[in-house]
Structure 1
Amino acid sequence: MTVDVPAGPRERTELVVAPVTITPTKPLTPTHVKGLLWTDLVLKASARLTPVRLVWNNRAATVTAQSTAFWRHLDLTEPDTDWSTETALAIGERYVRYHAGRPRTDPRPLNDYLSAADRGWIHPAGRRMLDLWHAELDLLGAAHPGLALDRPLGITACDALGVLADRGLLLDHRPYGGPAHLDGTRWGLPLRQLVGADGHPNYLLPILRELIPMIRPDRTFLLIHDDDLTADYVLLHRVLTECGSRVARLPLSRVPIAGSTRSSRYGGWRGATLGELSATAGTADRAAYRLGMRLYFTGILQRGSAQPFRLPLLRRCVGRAARLLDDAADRAAAPADHTLDAALGRLRTGPGHVDPYRLTTALLGGRLLPSAPQLRALYT
């Protein structure tokens, strides 16, 4: 889905915010929450200064072997399970066990799953996960990425590969039974497989299918991604630039849990998922929960932070948020809109988006107060 964020456009250049999508196969972990909240704050704060568009398409995460191979496994092992009542933890634990078994997937039956996913099909377990994420993000007040909506990717895989081939960016061995590689060697970058010899796409191909047709002279793409994906996103940046786009990247460090930053497919996230955090009993109201989560994930866990997830510190941030909101309610006057916009302008980066870390530390340091409805709306 593309979501236009309401704003009074002050500039003609549109900022297109494109976070890496998440496969609906596991619960939302602290790393996911960090990415979602940074994206949320970039969108809401930057929209006060320039037109902003969020790009999120579920098919970019489902038209991959990573999702479809797991769903085929579920169909083979649990054909009669009612997924509508399963929890995110239960589905995620199946995902972890699946990868722990070092699966070897027959590519032929997987073709049918990939074709169905490209037409909008999502396994009932994946649909259940999206529904659970929807409720959790609504409670968190995060910018809604369109989890309940569906639309085709911008262009077909064939058309995307054709665009790359026309620009000399594709090393294609498919006519000989081999893979197709994204070729960034002109920039000193290694080849990156886009399509395997089995015909299955890498996760970068759906992203290119979505973004290439959105390229326009008056748009700048902001690619938000885990720093573990930096090599792929440097290549993606180069390719989109070669296709005529202006591009910036915002890499975010993963959040270690118990000292580990391994992929969520290997587990280790129990007790730290968004569903568990939002269900934790406490005295704070919804506004304090939303502000506290943003103070922690954008202010404490800055962009490149190596700090591990610490639930006691998160709880203290929620308590701090409650006090900030109480103090703000006692203030006699709130800053005017133009004062807030001027402050946001000073926190703007070169590519044109407001820096969430600098904004949050200004709030924590007392340079901004959550007394104005406009500022409060950014955080709660």
Structure 2
Amino acid sequence: MQLEGAPVTELVVAPVTITPTKPLTPTHVKGLLWTDVLVKASARAGGVRLVWNNRMATVTTQAAAFWHHLDLTEPHTDWSRESETAIGERYVRFHAERRTADLRAVGARLARADKDGWIHPAGRRMLDVWRAQLDLLGVGELGLAADRPLATTAETLLDILAARGLLIDHRRYGGPVHLDGPRWGLPLRQLVGAHGHPNYLLPILRELVPMIGPGRHFLLVHDDGITADYLLLERVLAEFGARTARLALSRVPVGGTVRSSRYGGWRGATLGDLAAASGSADRAAYRLGMRLYFVGTLHRRSAQPFRMRLLRRCVGRAARLLGRAAADGREPAGRDIRDPLSRLRTPQGYVDPYRLTVSLLGRPVGPPAPELRAIYT
């Protein structure tokens, strides 16, 4: 367990999970790019570990119920030929129709996902699309192709929580299991339904609680629409001695509306759409420009809607910044950037992506040095 006053030797960055059931929207892209810049910059100033495990997203009722629906309605579809948009539209329709799920069948898929790492072919197709898009974007390896069991079992984690008195457990009566949020002035939050199906917080806790130890500081990255859940998650981790901090990012309105991706409204603004937009910028300018927009323009609490025109301007500015080095025919002189990055570190131990990006945008002349380009492209 984390020892009070022990020096921090490793920053553990745990971004919110994304179920592979829909395209990556501007809100997802913002979270991924903030995380990418934060991890790359903070790693140059200290030890960093990024936590990403597909089972944190797939061992959830949200994913399993949708995939069961696909098996029932389209048992013969070749999902390897389907686009991300087509799969995402099915996901939107599934939520709009609000069908009653076969709880036993959903439970069987959850068990397969938990034990064997099973993912429906539609989910695997979505992961393949994401990998290609994130590779083009230059996002560091998240582990989308990796498969490993969660750090502890659901039963063990529930026993650990119960031993601390953190649960309201009605399983003996055929009921659900809740986290006891009211002890901290927070709402009750269901962890396990009456039929044994987990809420998305359970696999997150199964992965993070066993990681708690001396010298580790946990940074929980999430969108502000689920702040209540992450306040509770932070309190639970702290109960076991973890040093914790949260980085809550505002969602990005599309078409003037902020909504969950399950309700649609993302057509024309997915990561695939952004990557396919016409223009003359090369890959490096695309990568830098996307970060200038999603990190530097859409700051942490920005309420700005997604604007393709402004994104294009950021990519154009990135192309001009990078083009100066090519025009000079030489790279700018390298320098040790650890000290400047250390000055941009927050009290929680991570380099602030927004402050770093603003400092880059404020450079009076010349392109970013190679060390900064490694962070941004």
Measured against the shorter chain, the TM-score band is over 0.9
Structure 2 partner of 1:202:
199
Asked whether the 8 Å contact 1:363–1:370 carries over to 2, the reply is no
Query: Is the contact between residue 99 and residue 266 of structure 1 (CA under 8 Å) also seen in structure 2?
Result: yes
1:113 to 100, 105, 109: 109
For the residues of structure 1 that align with 2:362 and 2:371, how far apart are their CA atoms?
19
The Cα shift of 1:197 comes to 0.8
Name the aligned partner's letter for residue 103 of structure 1.
R
Query: Following the alignment from structure 2 to structure 1, what is the Cα–Cα distance between the partners of residues 265 and 333?
Result: 44
1:136 aligns with 2:133: yes
Q: Note closer, same or farther for the CA distance 1:87–1:231 as it changes in structure 2 (3 Å cut).
A: same
What letter corresponds to residue 306 of structure 2 in structure 1? F
What amino acid sits opposite 2:332 in the alignment? A
1:317 is paired with a residue whose SS is: helix
Structure 1 match to 2:161: 164
TM-score by length of 2: 0.95
Whichever residue aligns with residue 226 of structure 2, its letter is L
Instruction: Give me the whole-angstrom Cα distance separating, in 1, the residues matched to 2:367 and 2:176.
Output: 53
Q: CA deviation at 1:305?
A: 0.4
Alignment deviations for residues 269-297 of structure 1 (CA, whole Å, 9 cap, x no partner):
00000011111121000000000000000
Unaligned runs of 5+ in 1: 1-10
Residue 108 of structure 1, CA deviation: 1.7
Does residue 79 of the first structure (1) align with residue 70 of the second (2)?
Answer: no
SS across alignment from 1:220: strand
Is 1:245 the counterpart of 2:263? The answer is no
C-alpha separation in 2, matches of 1:369 and 1:355:
23
Q: CA deviation at 1:334?
A: 3.4
Looking at structure 2, the residues matched to 297 and 259 of structure 1 have their Cα atoms a distance apart, in angstroms, of: 17
Aligned-pair distance for 1:12? 5.8
For the pair 1:21 / 2:21, whether they are aligned, the reply is: no
- Retained in 2: the 8 A contact 1:27–1:92? yes
Q: Distance in 2 between matches of 1:368 and 1:216?
A: 45
Query: 1:110 and 1:86 mapped to 2: Cα distance?
Result: 23
Which stretch has the larger CA shift, 185-194 or 36-45?
Answer: 185-194
Closer, same or farther: CA 368–104 of 1 in aligned 2, 3 Å: farther
SS in 1 for 2:107: helix
Find the aligned partners of 2:298 and 2:368 in 1 and give their Cα distance: 24
Q: Which amino acid aligns with 1:190?
A: P
Q: Give the share of equivalent positions with the same residue, in percent.
A: 70
Give the drift of 1:367: 6.3
Deviation at 1:56, TM superposition (A): 0.4
Determine which of 285, 299, 316 is the counterpart of 1:319. Answer: 316
8 A contact 2:8–2:217 mirrored in 1: no
Q: Does the 8 Å contact 1:329/1:371 carry over to 2?
A: no
Aligned to 1:59: 55
Does residue 1:185 correspond to 2:182, yes or no?
Answer: yes
Q: How many residues align?
A: 369
CA contact (8 A) 1:363 1:369 kept: no
Q: Which one-letter code corresponds to 1:81 in the other structure?
A: T
Q: Is the 8 A contact 1:290 1:379 kept in 2?
A: yes
Tell me how far 1:318 sits from its aligned partner. 0.2
For 1:156 and 1:237, the matched residues in 2 are separated by 20
Runs of 5+ unmatched residues, structure 2: 1-6
| Equivalent AA in structure 1 for residue 180 of structure 2 | D
Pair 362,222 (structure 1): closer, same or farther in 2 beyond 3 Å: same
1:221 is paired with a residue whose SS is strand
Distance 1:25 1:363 in 2: 35
Q: Provide the C-alpha distance between the structure 2 equivalents of 1:251 and 1:228, rounded to a whole number of angstroms.
A: 9
Would the alpha carbon gap of residues 108 and 368 (structure 1) be closer, same or farther in structure 2, given more than 3 Å must change? farther
* 1:241 aligned partner, one-letter code: A
Q: Would the aligned equivalents of 1:362 and 1:368 in 2 still touch at CA under 8 Å?
A: no
Preserved CA contact (<8 Å) 2:331 2:370: no
- Counterpart among 147, 151, 163 of residue 148 in structure 2: 151
Counterpart of 2:296, as a letter, is: G
> What is the DSSP-based 3-state SS (H/G/I as helix, E as strand, rest coil) of the residue aligned with 1:35?
helix
Q: What is the distance in 2 between the residues matched to 1:295 and 1:371?
A: 12
> Tell me, what secondary structure is at the counterpart of 2:49?
strand
> Deviations along 1:56-96, whole A, 9 cap, x unmatched?
01011111110010000000000000001111001001111
Quote the Cα distance in structure 1 between the aligned partners of 2:339 and 2:334. 10
Q: Which residue of 2 aligns with 1:282?
A: 279
Give the distance between the partners of 2:255 and 2:112, measured in 1 at CA. Answer: 38
User: Letter of the aligned partner of 1:219 in structure 2?
Assistant: R
CA deviation vs aligned residue, 1:110-157 (integer Å, no higher than 9, x gap)? 110110111200000000000000000000000121111100000000
Q: Is the 8 A contact 2:250 2:301 kept in 1?
A: yes
Native 8 Å contact 1:292 1:317 kept in 2: yes
Q: Would the aligned equivalents of 1:12 and 1:50 in 2 still touch at CA under 8 Å?
A: no
Bigger shift: 81-90 or 182-191? 182-191
Q: Does 1:35 align with 2:31?
A: yes
Deviates more, 1:195-204 or 1:341-350: 341-350
Distance 1:123 1:27 in 2: 16
CA distance in 1: counterparts of 2:344 and 2:202, whole angstroms: 34
Cα distance, 1:327 vs structure 2? 2.5
Mapped partners of 1:145, 1:296: distance in 2:
21
Seen in structure 2, the aligned counterparts of structure 1 residues 212 and 367 have a Cα distance that, compared at 3 Å, is farther
Conservation of the 8 A alpha-carbon contact between 2:150 and 2:207: yes
Larger displacement relative to structure 2 (132-141 or 277-286): 277-286
- Give the aligned CA root-mean-square deviation in angstroms: 1.4
Which residue of 358, 363, 368 corresponds with 1:366?
A: 363
Q: Quick check: 1:49–1:341 contact (8 Å CA) kept in 2? A: yes
User: Residue 221 of structure 1 is aligned with which of 215, 218, 223?
Assistant: 218
What amino acid is the match of 2:324?
D
